[in-house]
Amino acid sequence: MQEVRKAGGQECPRPSRKIANGYFGRDLMGNRNFPVVALLLATVAGCSRSRETPPPDVVPVSGTLTYRGEPVADARLTFWADDESEPAFALTDRQGRFRCVSNDADGIASGEYLVTVSRAGGGIPEKYADADSSPLRVSVEQEDANLVIKLED
């Protein structure tokens, strides 16, 4: 028989010990497999990136985005490398200015990139939002890059 306690004048059943202590009737720390699982998770988390592989040389990249001669605010640019590595991203400010970031650092590795552009409020041609139809290509060299990207109809 379950105990009943009063909460705010109403009778409420007390949770069973099975529910309170976990599905199998024991808490997590009492589980003999806990140390093994914890060690396994710590090992996997520590192996996410090998220290032997140096990150690629990252070049600071900034620029401006315009459409019909006007800056494009609040747009998201995605820079897709030819080698299919992780893409880099940038967001434009009110003046259409942006700075690229990648998973490794501020900037992107030198190389050739396909660029897609999307904007939540629309106002730019749809062809720039898809990698299959975007005509935008940029080349990033080993020095600071200041890109000027002009969208056309």
User: Residues of 59-86 as b/e, b for ≥16 C-beta within 10 angstroms?
Assistant: bebebbbbbeeeebbebebbbbbeeeee
| pLDDT of res. 22 | 47
Tens digits of per-residue pLDDT, 22-39?
A: 444 455 455 566 555 555
Per DSSP, 106 falls in state B
Specify the pLDDT at position 123: 95
Of the candidates 113, 112, 120, 67, which has an alpha carbon nearest to the alpha carbon of residue 91? 120
Domain residue ranges of the chain, discontinuous segments joined by +: 4-46, 58-151
Q: What is the pLDDT of residues 90-129, one digit of tens each?
A: 999 999 999 999 986 899 998 999 999 999 999 999 999 9
Task: Give CATH for domain 58-151.
Answer: 2.60.40.10
